[in-house]
Amino acid sequence: MKARFAPSPTGLLHVGNARVALINWLHARHGGGEFVLRIDDTDRARSRPEFEAAIEADLAWLGLDWDARYRQSERVALYAAAFERLSKAGRLYACYESQEELELKRRSQLARGEPPRYDRAALGLTEADHARLAGAGQVPHWRFRLADGATEWTDLVRGAVRFEAAHLSDPILFRVGREAVYQLASVVDDLDLGITHVIRGEDHVANTPIHIQIALALGGEPDSIRFAHLPLLTDTGGAKLSKRLGGLALGDLKADGIEAMAVNSLLARLGSADRVVAVGDLEALAAGFDLGHFGRAPPKFDTAELARLNAELLHRLSFERAAGRLRALGLGAVDPVMWLALRGNLVRLADIADWLPVCRGTIEPVIEDPAFAAEAAQLLPPEPWDTATWQGWTDAVKAATGRAGRALFHPLRLALTGRERGPELRNLLPIIGHARALARLRGDRA
């Protein structure tokens, strides 16, 4: 088994791209196969090295390692060889129409209620016509002549798929100057690299019958490549995700403090029959992955669900795995005891900074009832304190004041933390310590 992710370096990776990359990686790893990264940079005008670097950095952040890496701009000799082979087989033909002429034909067809497909006018050119056009300085682009009849395959997500040739247009495979385009380069590379599974978005479904015919014309074996087309992500209202909405780029999610495994956990199961849960590592995701569980309904990408998964992962994260990242955030003051006390209250890792003043710094206490706070202060037990101290102290305050429930606990939380809610005070109290607790109960800034 060999799967591939083939991004174009013309922009940043977004959650839709990441989902395709992740599912290819999981499918390959689950089957004990290989995962190939191929940079599809045939669009030289729009491809940028900074986007290529960003793609690799985003995949590394997600943990999606690759077994091999290729760049299409370094494989042009293979595409030239494919040109010769297809030409000898009579499957390529030269065309001279400009973009304006093609657009005019397209509009005319639509006006007549016909599907917009190339009319194969160039097939009627004689040798004299070609000589005349060449003499006038016109350089052709080259189209692939599709075979008549139907092209069929069994899609691993969509099931049986059939395309009639009458509904397809002969695709351009080589631009002016015999520069290979995506349709040709992708198929040549998939054959050359031994790709066995092409998993991509359903927006590529109409490309697949073309790719199958090109592969067969180049000597590929029928069914040597299995196809799976995933429904595209939508927002919670069912509308197509738009990059213009912002926040969907992986770099934005990372900058916002989202855990890579929260992204992986969500994207790995969106659109499948599997329940979305936070999974701690990619190996566990791969072990339970099944492409057959994916359906055809468009999955909804919910940022609130992503935040929930993010929090769930942080609540289980060990201090050993968090320590290096805390230091990178300038939060090296967080120790193992503090981490265990605070992690259950985090949505983002950086949120822990909000609690450092409560634990070891200075806050402005909120005193609702000075007399009650003073009595509670007198009942503070001496140190050393542990997680049992809170229960013993509040039992004593309850017995002395007659308070219980919210009337007992809420004013103590406000005095000790200045917050309406937060981590369990049985864990916080030993970190705050006797001196700070006493000062805060007396209303002092401490």
| Domains of the chain listed by start with CATH number | 1-72+231-316 (3.40.50.620), 78-179 (3.90.800.10), 319-360 (no CATH), 370-441 (1.10.10.350)
DSSP string covering 274-318: S-----S-HHHHHHT--GGGB-SSPPBP-HHHHHHHHHHHHHH--
At residue 246, the pLDDT reads: 56
Distance CA 23, CA 267 (A): 8
Which neighbouring-strand residues pair with 163?
151
pLDDT tens digits in sequence order for the chain, 446 residues long: 999 999 999 999 999 999 999 999 999 999 999 999 999 999 888 999 999 999 999 999 999 999 999 999 999 999 999 999 999 999 999 999 999 999 999 999 999 988 899 999 999 999 999 999 999 999 999 999 999 999 999 999 999 999 999 889 999 999 999 999 999 999 999 999 999 999 999 999 999 999 999 999 999 999 999 999 999 999 888 888 765 555 589 999 999 999 999 999 999 999 999 999 999 999 999 999 999 999 999 999 999 999 999 999 999 999 999 999 999 999 999 999 999 999 999 999 999 999 999 999 999 999 999 999 999 999 999 999 999 999 999 999 999 999 999 999 999 999 999 999 999 999 999 999 999 999 999 999 98
At residue 239, the pLDDT reads: 84
Please compute, for residue 20, the number of CA atoms within 13 A of its CA located in the half-sphere on the CB side. 25
Distance CA 41, CA 70 (A): 10
At residue 248, the pLDDT reads: 85
Stated pTM of the model:
0.91
Give the tokens for residue 318: 């060990």
Q: Residue 20: name the closest of 227, 262, 248, 267 by CA.
A: 267
